[in-house]
Amino acid sequence: MTDELRLILERDRSEFQPVVEQFAADQAALLRRYDLEPSPVGQERLRQFTRSWLDSLSALETGELGVEGRLDALLLERHLERMEVQQQRDAARRRQRMSALAPVLPLVELHEARRRHESPDPEACARVLSQVDASIRLQLRRGDASSAEIPTDELLPAAHDLSLVRAALDAWKRHYCPYDPRMAWWLTQPLEACLSALEEREAALTRLSAEGMSRSGASAGIHGRPLGRDALLEDLQFERIPYSPDELLCLADRELKWCDLRLREASSELGFGDDSAAAVEAVKDRHEEPGGQPDRVVRLAREAIHWVRREDLLTVPDLATEVWRLEMMTAEEQKTSPFFLGGEVIKVSFPTVDMDDDAKRMSLRGNNIAFSRATVQHELIPGHHMQSFAGPRAFPHRRLFWTPFWVEGWTLHWEMLLWDRGFPGAPEERIGMLFWMRHRAARIRFSLKFHLGEMTADEAIDFLVQVAGHERACAEGEVRRSVGPDYPPLYQAAYLLGGLQVRRLAREAVNRGMSLKTFHDRFLWGGQMPVDLARVRILGVPLSSANEPWRFLDGSDDPSTARGGAL
C-alpha cells in the first residue's frame, strides 16, 4: 500500500471544504422538507436559498485562501449560478403546462400544510377534495380541448407532475386517516374519488402525448425537447467550453474523417479493402454465444487492469481490483442503455430470453467481442470504476460539482491513450475501438443538432445507423437516453470534448516534465470540476486566468493531424 499511502499523505487540502459541505447539507435538508416538486411554495423557497448563498459568496473575501480553497469558492459560485438559471428554465416550462396543474394546487397546499405541522379541519379538507375532483372530472369530460393550450412536449411532464401530486395525496391519506377517526369519517370517499380522478387525468395526458408524437411522425416512443441555441450557448459557457456549436460540429466532422481513415486501414488488413462498412459488419458477427458474455467481460477487465499496471500509467489500489461487481441488464433497461454501463458495478448488455428474435440478434451484434473489449476498460479500470473509487476518498465534497466533461473526459482520454500505446493490436480490436471513437464524434453531431432544432429524434436514429454503424435498436436506445430528461443536453458531446481537454492537459503536463502516471494520479484524486480548472491545480496556472477561455482544440481541419499526434 506504499503508493496508496503516499497519495493520501501528499494530497492537498481545501480550507473551503466545510463551506461546500454546509451548503450541500443545507440543500439536502431543504429538498427533504420541500419534497413535492410541483409545489410553488417549495420552488420559491429553493430560489430564495440559492440567491442567499450567492449573495453571501459575493460578499466573501477569498484572497487569503490557498489554491484548493479558492477553486472550491469558484466552483460553488458557478454551481449556484447554474442552479439559478435552471430554476428559471424549469419555472418557464412549468408555466406552459399550468392548465394541467392549476386544478390540483389545493392538494399541493394540503401537503404543505402537513409539512408545516398544521392540524387539518376534516370537513374543510373534504370540501377541497370534492372541488378538486369536480375540476379534474370537468377536464376529463372536455377531453382534448382541456389540454389544447399545453405544448405537446409538455404533456408528458404534466402527467408526471400529476403523478407526484397523486403520490403526495396518497401519503397524506396514510398519515391521517388510520389514526384520526374524524378524518376517516369525512375523507374516505372523497379521497378515493380524487385519487381516481388524478390517475385518469394522468393517463389521459400520457395518451395525448403519444398521439401527438404519432401525428408528428415520431417513432420509437422517444420524448425529448430541443434546448435551443441560446440555452445551448449558455450551457457551453457554464461548462467552460469556449467554442460555438458550429465549431464543435466541425470538430465532429474532423474526428469522423480521422476514424474513417483508420477504419479503412483496418478493413484492408481483414481483406475487405476500403469497404470498412463490410469489415464492421463482419466484426459484429463475432460475438459470444448465449451465456458466455459474463465470462468474457471478466477476462477483458483483468486484461485492462494488467495492461495499465504493466505500463505504470496509474496507481491502481488492490482494493479497487477486488470490489468491482458485474450485473446483467434486463431487456427493459437495454431500451435506454443498449451497451454497457459502469462504475463499481459494470452492467452488461446481452440478449435476454424474453426478447424477440430481432432484438436478440441486434443485442448480440451490438455487444460483440471487439466492441465489448473496447468498452470494459471504459467502464471499469482505468475508467469509471476508478472514478467512483476515488470519489469518496479524495475531495469527496467536489462530487457536488459533477460535470460530464470530467466524468466522460477521463474515460475518453484513456481510450485515445490506449489507442496510442497499441492496446488494440489485431485489426478486429482496432475496428471495435474505432467504432466507439466514431460513435463519440457522432454523438456531438446528433445531440447538438437535436438541441439546435436541426435534427429530429428519428433523424438522429437514422444518422447513427447510417453513419455510426449502429443496429437500429441500439440507435433507438442511444437517442432515447440522450434526448430524455435524465441526461443534460451536453452530456453526449462531453465524451469526446472532455477527452480532448484531458488529452491536451496531459500533453502540457508531460511537456513540463511530469510523468503520465503522476498526471493521472493528480487528475483522478483531485475531485470533479471543469477540466480547465483541474489545469489550475495540476499545472499551477494562475487562478486569475481561470475565468479566461482555455481553447484546447487543435485548429487544424486535417484529420491526419487530429489530436496533436500520439501521447
DSSP string for residues in 13-31 = --TTHHHHHHHHHHHHHHH
What is the pLDDT, as a whole number, of residue 354? 86
Reply yes or no on whether the pLDDT at 220 is more than 70: no
pLDDT at 174 > cutoff 80 = yes
pLDDT band at 473 (very low <50, low <70, confident <90, very high): confident
C-alpha cell at 471: 443496429
Q: What is the pLDDT of residue 549?
A: 80
Nearby residues of 160 by Cβ (< 8 Å), 6 or more positions away:
none
Q: Please identify which residue in the block is written with the cell numbers 419534497.
A: 35
C-alpha cell at 9: 499523505
pLDDT confidence band for 502 (50 / 70 / 90): very high
Residue 490: predicted pLDDT = 93
- pLDDT per residue as tens digits for the range 415-468: 999 999 999 989 999 999 998 899 899 999 999 999 999 998 889 899 888 888
Range of 7-11, 242-246, 339-343 with top mean pLDDT: 242-246
Residue 44's φ and ψ, nearest 5 degrees, are: -65, -40
Least confident of 123-132, 155-164, 278-287: 278-287
- What distance lies between CA 88 and its chain's CA centroid? 21
pLDDT for 409:
96
More confident call, 49 vs 375: 49
pLDDT of 339 above 90:
no
Question: Range with the lowest mean pLDDT among 1-15, 94-108, 515-529?
Answer: 1-15
How confident is the model at residue 546, as a pLDDT? 66
Residues 6 or more apart whose CB falls under 8 angstroms from that of 321 comprise 305, 381
Q: What percent of the chain has pLDDT over 90?
A: 67
Calculate what percentage of the chain has a pLDDT beyond 70. Answer: 95
pLDDT at 146 over 80: no
- Would the pLDDT of 170 be above 90? yes
pLDDT of residue 483: 80
- The backbone torsions φ and ψ at residue 341, rounded to the nearest 5 degrees and listed phi first, read -125, 155
Half-sphere exposure of residue 88: CA atoms within 13 angstroms, side-chain side: 9
Residue 90 has pLDDT above 90, yes or no: yes
pTM equals 0.90
Q: Per-residue pLDDT averaged across 137-150, rounded? A: 84
The pLDDT of residue 175: 96
- How much is the pLDDT for 247? 94
Q: What is the mean pLDDT of the chain?
A: 90
- CB environment 277-299: b (16+ within 10 A), e (fewer): eebbebbbeebbeeeebeebbee
What are 270-325's pLDDT values in tens digits?
Answer: 999 989 889 988 988 888 888 888 999 999 999 999 999 999 999 999 999 999 99
pLDDT reported for residue 215 = 63
Burial degree of 465 (CB within 10 A; 0-12, 13-18, 19+):
middle
pLDDT of residue 42: 97
217: pLDDT strictly greater than 70: no
3 state SS of 187: helix
Residue 219 scores a pLDDT above 60: no
pLDDT exceeds 70 at position 564: no
Q: What is the pLDDT of residues 236-245, one digit of tens each?
A: 999 999 999 9
The confidence score (pLDDT) of residue 121 equals 96
Residue recorded with cell 467512483: 388
7, 92, 142, 315, 318 from 309: Cα distances, Å: 16, 51, 67, 8, 11
* Nearest one of 120, 17, 34 to 69, comparing CA atoms: 17
Please tell me the predicted confidence (pLDDT) of residue 556: 57
Residue 155 neighbours by CB under 8 Å, 6+ apart: 97, 147, 205, 206, 208, 209, 212
The pLDDT of 69-98, averaged and rounded, is 95
C-alpha grid cell, residue 174: 396514510
Q: Tell me the pLDDT band of 480, cut-offs 50, 70 and 90.
A: confident
Cα–Cα distance, 438 to 255 (Å, whole number)? 7
List Cβ neighbours of 259 (8 Å cut-off, separation of 6 or more).
Answer: 434, 437, 438, 441
Residue 5 has pLDDT above 70, yes or no: yes
245 in Cβ contact with 237 (< 8 Å) = no
Confidence of residue 366 (pLDDT cuts 50, 70, 90): confident
Kindly state the DSSP code that residue 330 receives in the 8-state scheme: P
Judged by average pLDDT, the poorest of 4-8, 88-92, 407-411, 548-552 is 4-8
Instruction: Write down the domain spans for the chain.
Output: 2-96, 98-215, 230-564
Least confident range from 87-101, 256-270, 301-315, 349-363: namely 349-363
* Grid coordinates given for 60: 466573501
Whether 176 shows a pLDDT value over 70: the answer reads: yes
Residue 17 has pLDDT above 90, yes or no: yes
> Does residue 558 carry a pLDDT above 60?
no
Q: Is the pLDDT of residue 404 over 80?
A: yes
